[in-house]
């Protein structure tokens, strides 16, 4: 019954809720939080050399804490990359320890419920299980939500899109108060790299359309959709340097032991690209994202906190 | 003789009421077993949530005769035991198999019961057997099987057709109901919806026609299907004809009233002549409880009758002790038989070894060969062993297995093939090979499966969006588990797919992901599966300075 109600009026309500949440985020930024040397809050926090959960703790401490993003009684959707039916050592999915820690932070901040999902490429339940994410999330009280049938997705307009005018988005993205995007940094055969912007391909239903109609432009287009992530957490602990996004074996992995958080998808993608060893301007969707004003890829303009563990 | 002794002991130690209780108990046990088996079989063919463990499916389905025979030939092992068990039970007690473990048998009984005529007298009456038809069909089935085609078993086997009916007709309804429930409990995410996909019109039509024919025969004349068309029934009838324990009419007690014949769905009791055709009796025991004069017996029709040494009213009890002793006697011979069966060895397909399919064929896609599941070894092996029960179709987590129409040729009708338009084969999954009841798909583990090439990906350059639209795509390479399809630098900063055939397993992830129309990459089946090489990788040699931030 609730689902049906949602379909009729929910999309609009979701949009309103989404906008409200982003305004709340801005409010918090203005209100203060952690500040850098210049007195402004950090645009990006990068941590190196620690363990996944530990690095997330340090990053959030510098970024102003989860309470800045999650208010008491709110619902949170966490969107890691759980695309592949492989084990965590393969680095194809977001590190389960990071996801688990994020869920814990959300509950500590007073979240009513924390949902985790991905529109996976391999069989969804196998991905959830073998990635280790399902167990991590459930252990701390979060809820794994499926995203494998079209019934979960609702068509929304992408007003500023050039190639992508409409797309079907998972209801949790539209309904939840807070949206946390948790990509893993990986090589990607077609998009070159997959990080925060590319990770949002996992919240929509029809990815074929994106591939068919200028992939890079579609990735950037979707990032103009008003329900942007409130926070992006890039897991770069184990980084797949080739054969991405699925990878062939653990040989494709290098331990980078890094993690970055930012509200700016373009900035965090640019920083992660540099970490990977690629020029951000070479990655088309990052370049387009910067041009379309989704964020900035010019890291020199940003207030960055660097933490060495 | 020890038999006589046993009978005398029974006769002396039992009272009149005891015999009746056994009769009632027999029918009740039969009904209970039939219901349990029917429900279990019905469930495993609609089990969209995959709650039944693969191991259970493997063992459970091997107690069906056709799978037991085929699996004995293809892989041996447990099937040898289950085959001997089925044959032994039939040799001892008649075709009780047909009234208990056979799901289609019980399914027909259910149909018969729903449509039973109001007037009792019109239910069943004795008919002569259609011996010519049933033995001809059985012989044709056997000859076809020996010559390398499971076609007639596919079309006639009761288990496999029960599977087709439930997998193709009931499963979609079950899925739809599940999705209604999922929508109702939407926001709690407690009921997970499923994708209703992969159903084939041909298989649905086939199942409806089969259901119609079997249903009509069941309403018209009970177990007529089992006693004319069913090769399993005919096969077992060869043993039950001379089974140790038999239904027979007591020539003294029977008054030829015909009450037994009215309830006999096999229509094999000739009350006038006081004869029972044990080759057609399906062991339902309805006649036993229908008889009001204790004239129907289920016992060992031994020389005792001639000797007239025992009290005939107690004859129906004899089967128990007799059966037990007979079982014990036969068990001693079991092991030797089993060893003998083991030597029948594995039936591996020879393979046709025709071409590898079309490389770079112009648009649209022309697929030369269907894609058979990993473990099926070759089309020849698969076509000769698969009875198209569609258990793998139901069990496949990716729903990539669909019933073929003529993709394997007419002889392979309804046998499952991989349809990459619907889905693709999960790299780390061997469920179909683990559940296949007949050995048409030989069991594989994950590591073995990765070394099997069921088909080869072919790239059609002129269809690819990178060529036509000059934009990046890479959906194919993205999904490829071995990077047999990988993106290589093309021009203007674009990347184009390239196929390395040696490491392609033919899983179809590339084809399924391809967004163009017509598709730019497709898998053509290997009619004989080939070995796939594992992708070679070297560890990345990169020094990482954890203190360094490149920004």
Measure the CA–CA gap between B175 and B45, rounded to whole angstroms.
12
Q: Which of A1, A249, A255 sits opposite B537 (nearest CB)?
A: A249
Q: Which two tokens stand for residue B123?
A: 């239910």
**pTM beyond 0.90:** no
Measure the CA–CA gap between B117 and B139, rounded to whole angstroms.
35
Strands A178-182 and A231-240: what pairing? parallel
Peptide bond into B518 cis (omega under 30): yes
Question: Nearest residue on chain A to B537, judged by CA atoms?
Answer: A251
Which pLDDT tens digit goes with each residue over B236-276? 999 999 999 999 999 888 999 999 999 999 999 999 999 99
How close is the nearest chain B Cα to the Cα of A182, in Å? Answer: 20
Which pLDDT tens digit goes with each residue over B187-238? 788 899 999 999 999 999 999 999 999 999 999 999 999 999 999 999 999 9
Band (B302; pLDDT cuts 50, 70, 90): low
Looking at chain B from residue 460 to 489, which residues have their Cβ under 8 Å from any Cβ of chain A?
465, 469, 471-475, 477-483, 486-487
- Interface membership of B518 toward A (CB under 8 Å): no
Band (B370; pLDDT cuts 50, 70, 90): very high
Looking at chain A from residue 19 to 58, which residues have their Cβ under 8 Å from any Cβ of chain B?
46, 48-49
Measure the CA–CA gap between B444 and B431, rounded to whole angstroms.
9
Measure the CA–CA gap between A74 and A177, rounded to whole angstroms.
6
Which pLDDT tens digit goes with each residue over B39-53? 999 999 999 999 999
pLDDT at B321 over 70: no
Question: Nearest residue on chain B to A86, judged by CA atoms?
Answer: B428
Question: Nearest residue on chain A to B180, judged by CA atoms?
Answer: A1
Band (B362; pLDDT cuts 50, 70, 90): low
- Interface membership of B196 toward A (CB under 8 Å): no
How close is the nearest chain A Cα to the Cα of B191, in Å? Answer: 10
Is B547 close to A49, i.e. CB distance below 8 A?
yes
| Mean pLDDT (whole number) for B495-512 | 97
DSSP for B181-203? Answer: HHHHTGGGT-S---------HHH
Q: Which two tokens stand for residue B24?
A: 């009632």
**Enclosing H/E stretch for A180:** strand A178-182
Q: Domain A3-308 in CATH: superfamily?
A: LarA, N-terminal domain (3.40.50.11440)
| Mean pLDDT (whole number) for A73-95 | 97
Measured in whole angstroms, the distance separating CA B267 from the mean position of its chain's CA atoms is 27
Is B513 close to A241, i.e. CB distance below 8 A?
no
Predicted pLDDT at B448: 97
B-chain CB neighbours of A85 within 8 Å are 426-429
Q: Can you tell me the ipTM of this complex?
A: 0.86
Could you tell me which residues come within 8 angstroms of residue A192 by beta carbon, excluding any fewer than 6 positions away?
Answer: A278, A282, A283, A284
Looking at chain B from residue 110 to 149, which residues have their Cβ under 8 Å from any Cβ of chain A?
none
B-chain CB neighbours of A150 within 8 Å are 195
Predicted pLDDT at B309: 39
| Mean pLDDT (whole number) for A114-132 | 96
Peptide bond into B364 cis (omega under 30): yes
Is B478 close to A245, i.e. CB distance below 8 A?
yes
Percent of chain B at pLDDT > 90 equals 75
- Interface membership of A256 toward B (CB under 8 Å): yes
Q: Which of A211, A214, A257 sits opposite B475 (nearest CB)?
A: A211
DSSP for B205-270? Answer: HHHHHHHHHHHHHHHHHSTHHHHHT-HHHHHHHHHHTT-SSEEEE-TTT-----HHHHH-TT--EE
Is B475 close to A270, i.e. CB distance below 8 A?
no
Predicted pLDDT at B20: 67
Looking at chain A from residue 111 to 130, which residues have their Cβ under 8 Å from any Cβ of chain B?
115, 121-123, 125-126, 130
Which pLDDT tens digit goes with each residue over A242-260? 999 999 999 999 999 999 9
Q: At what angle do helices B16-44 and B103-114 cross, to 10 degrees?
A: 100
pLDDT at A37 over 80: no
Which pLDDT tens digit goes with each residue over B507-547? 999 999 999 999 999 999 999 999 999 998 888 877 788 77
**Residue position matching structure tokens 């048409």:** B440
Measure the CA–CA gap between B224 and B228, rounded to whole angstroms.
6
């Amino acid at each position: 019954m609730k689902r049906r109600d949602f379909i009729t009026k929910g999309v609009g309500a979701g949009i309103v809720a989404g906008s409200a949440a982003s305004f709340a985020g801005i409010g918090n930024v203005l209100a203060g939080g952690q500040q850098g040397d210049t007195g402004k809050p950090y645009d990006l926090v990068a941590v190196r050399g620690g363990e996944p959960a530990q690095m997330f703790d340090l990053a959030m401490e510098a970024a102003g804490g989860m309470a800045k993003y999650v208010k008491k009684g709110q619902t949170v959707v966490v969107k890691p990359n759980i695309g592949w039916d492989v084990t965590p050592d393969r680095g194809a999915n977001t590190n389960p320890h990071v996801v688990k820690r994020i869920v814990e932070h959300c509950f500590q901040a007073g979240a009513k419920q924390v949902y985790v999902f991905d529109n996976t490429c391999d069989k969804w339940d196998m991905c959830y299980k073998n990635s280790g994410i399902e167990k991590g999330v459930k252990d701390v009280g979060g809820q794994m939500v499926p995203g494998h049938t079209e019934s979960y997705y609702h068509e929304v307009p992408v007003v500023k899109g050039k190639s992508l005018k409409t797309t079907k988005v998972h209801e949790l993205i539209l309904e939840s108060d807070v949206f946390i995007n948790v990509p893993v940094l990986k090589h990607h055969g077609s998009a070159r790299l997959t990080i925060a912007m590319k990770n949002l391909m996992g919240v929509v239903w029809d990815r074929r359309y994106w591939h068919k109609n200028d992939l890079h432009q579609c990735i950037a287009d979707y990032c103009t959709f008003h329900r942007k992530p409130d926070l992006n957490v890039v897991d770069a602990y184990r980084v797949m340097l080739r054969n991405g996004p699925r990878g062939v074996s653990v040989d494709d992995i290098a331990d980078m032991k890094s993690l970055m958080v930012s509200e700016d998808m373009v900035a965090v993608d640019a920083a992660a690209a540099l970490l990977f060893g690629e020029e951000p301007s070479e990655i088309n969707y990052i370049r387009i994202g910067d041009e379309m004003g989704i964020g900035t890829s010019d890291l020199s303009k940003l207030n960055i906190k660097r933490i060495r563990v | 003789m020890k038999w006589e002794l046993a009978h005398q002991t029974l006769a002396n130690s039992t009272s009149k009421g005891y015999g009746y209780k056994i009769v009632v108990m027999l029918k009740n046990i039969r009904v209970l077993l039939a219901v349990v088996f029917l429900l279990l079989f019905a469930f495993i063919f609609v089990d969209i949530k995959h709650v039944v463990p693969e191991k259970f499916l493997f063992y459970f389905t091997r107690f069906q005769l056709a799978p037991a025979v085929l699996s004995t030939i293809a892989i041996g092992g447990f099937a040898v035991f289950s085959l001997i068990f089925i044959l032994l039970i039939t040799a001892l007690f008649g075709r009780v198999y047909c009234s208990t473990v056979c799901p289609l048998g019980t399914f027909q009984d259910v149909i018969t019961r729903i449509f039973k005529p109001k007037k009792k007298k019109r239910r069943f009456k004795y008919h002569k057997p259609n011996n010519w038809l049933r033995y001809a069909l059985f012989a044709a089935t056997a000859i076809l099987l020996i010559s390398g085609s499971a076609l007639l078993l596919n079309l006639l086997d009761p288990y496999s057709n029960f599977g087709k009916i439930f997998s193709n007709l009931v499963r979609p309804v079950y899925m739809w109901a599940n999705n209604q429930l999922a929508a109702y409990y939407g926001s709690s995410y407690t009921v997970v919806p499923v994708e209703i996909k992969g159903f084939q019109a041909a298989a649905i039509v086939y199942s409806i026609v089969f259901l119609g024919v079997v249903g009509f025969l069941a309403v018209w004349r009970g177990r007529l299907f089992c006693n004319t068309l069913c090769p399993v029934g005919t096969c077992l009838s060869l043993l039950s004809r001379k089974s140790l324990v038999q239904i027979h009419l007591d020539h003294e007690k029977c008054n030829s009233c015909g009450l037994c014949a009215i309830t006999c769905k096999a229509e094999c009791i000739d009350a006038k002549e006081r004869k029972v055709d044990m080759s057609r009796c399906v062991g339902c025991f309805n006649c036993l409880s229908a008889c009001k004069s204790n004239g129907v017996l289920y016992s060992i029709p031994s020389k005792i009758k001639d000797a007239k040494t025992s009290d005939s009213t107690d004859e129906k009890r004899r089967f128990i002790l007799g059966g037990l002793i007979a079982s014990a006697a036969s068990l001693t011979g079991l092991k030797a038989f089993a060893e003998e069966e083991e030597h029948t060895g594995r039936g591996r397909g020879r393979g046709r070894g025709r071409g590898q399919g079309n490389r770079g064929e112009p648009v649209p896609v022309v697929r030369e060969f269907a894609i058979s599941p990993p473990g099926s070894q070759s089309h020849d092996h698969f076509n000769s062993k698969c009875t198209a029960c569609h258990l793998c179709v139901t069990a496949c987590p990716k729903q990539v297995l669909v019933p073929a129409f003529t993709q394997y040729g007419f002889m392979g009708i309804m046998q499952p093939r991989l349809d990459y338009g619907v889905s693709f084969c999960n790299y780390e999954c061997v469920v179909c090979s683990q559940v296949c009841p007949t050995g048409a798909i030989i069991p594989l583990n994950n590591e073995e499966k990765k070394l099997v090439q069921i088909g080869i990906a072919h790239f059609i350059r002129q269809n690819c969006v990178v060529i036509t639209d000059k934009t990046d795509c890479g959906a194919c390479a993205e999904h490829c588990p071995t990077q047999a399809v990988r993106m290589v630098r093309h021009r203007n900063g674009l990347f184009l797919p390239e196929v390395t055939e040696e490491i392609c397993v033919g899983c179809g992830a590339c084809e399924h992901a391809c967004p163009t129309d017509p598709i730019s990459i497709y898998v053509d089946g290997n009619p004989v599966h080939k070995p796939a090489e594992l992708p070679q990788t070297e560890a990345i040699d990169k020094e990482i300075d954890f203190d360094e931030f490149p920004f």
